[in-house]
Amino acid sequence: MRFDVLTLFPELFDAARVGVTGRAFRELGHQLEATSYRPFAGNPFGHVDAAPFGGGPGMVLRPDVLRDALASLPRRGTGRVIHFSPAAPPLDHAKVLELAALDQLILVCTRFEGLDQRAVRLCVDEELSVGDAVLSGGELPALFLIDAVCRWLPGVLGNEASAAADSFATGLLDHPHYTRPAVFEGLEAPAVLLGGDHEAVRLWRLREAMERTRALRPELWRAFLAQRLEALPRTDQWCAWQAEHPEDRGRAKPRGWKGWKYSLPIPPGSDKL
């Protein structure tokens, strides 16, 4: 994977070269190049933006600057030019997986009032945001995306299962985590995690992930129930039932329980689900 970043502040992207995901560039042959817009300013002052037509506050990156900066970059295989804008759809897990399968990502970072719309139409393949918030520029969203994508490049994480178990990868938020000491400030780690029963640990973590998702991200929980639940074994479906019915939280799965859909109330007038 090759990441190219167009920015006024190339030095900010040194941060992507540290930590676990920095292994992608230090050891695994992936590339990260940050290029300044300044050499493409076309004037001795390095000014790359101009006041918006029609007046108003802020400055806009000139379309010719982006065109020329993009023309200077080498291209590799399948790639995409991405501009960051608070008006765009947010980056999510499915998009991260899609981007991680490409050969090159070119990340366009702008500031102030953003990018001339003609450059968006002619030079940009896709626009993304990192949520309903306005930042000073696209550099932090670009670092956000680089980190998220690098986690899915083979060999970057020491344990390949780490990414697969992360929040969103299973359709659920991640479960809570605990480590030493077993008792901290009077609070004990859950006993099931210390008991050595791997299946009990798995089910506890699944139930906690389900309850957390239901409480914090109800839209994800509804999608999980609609799209993934039926394929799960009955033991795992019982965890989902318990997440929806807290009164059954400490109850073992009933013998002969046929699964989630057979446990729902039958709508009036229906003779089957």
**CATH number of the domain where residue 105 is located:** 3.40.1280.10
Same domain (yes/no): 146, 187 = no
Same domain (yes/no): 61, 144 = yes
Same domain (yes/no): 120, 224 = no
The pLDDT score that the predictor gives to residue 262 is 73
User: Among 128, 150, 172, which residue terminates a domain?
Assistant: 150
The pLDDT score that the predictor gives to residue 159 is 66
The pLDDT score that the predictor gives to residue 271 is 33
pTM: 0.83
Mean pLDDT for back-to-back runs of 10 residues, the chain (273 residues): 98 95 93 98 95 94 97 98 95 96 98 94 97 94 97 84 66 92 95 96 96 95 94 95 92 87 50 34
Count of CA atoms in the C-beta half-sphere (13 A) of 204: 16
Assigned domain for 135 exists: yes
In whole angstroms, what separates CA 142 from the centre of its chain?
A: 12
Same domain (yes/no): 109, 216 = no
The pLDDT score that the predictor gives to residue 261 is 76
Q: Identify each DSSP E strand in the chain by its residue range.
A: 2-7, 31-36, 49-50, 60-61, 79-84, 104-108, 126-128, 183-184, 187-188
- CB-CB contact of 264 with 230 (8 Å): no
- CB-CB contact of 80 with 128 (8 Å): no
DSSP three-state, residue 183: strand
The pLDDT score that the predictor gives to residue 66 is 98
User: Among 150, 171, 206, which residue terminates a domain?
Assistant: 150
Task: Quote the crossing angle between the two packed helices 139-150 and 93-100, to the nearest 10°.
Answer: 70
Question: Is residue 58 within a helix (H) or strand (E), and if so which, with residue range?
Answer: none
Domain that includes residue 227, residue range? 183-263
Same domain (yes/no): 217, 101 = no
Same domain (yes/no): 118, 191 = no
Residues labelled catalytic:
86, 113, 151, 166
Assigned domain for 75 exists: yes
The pLDDT score that the predictor gives to residue 93 is 93
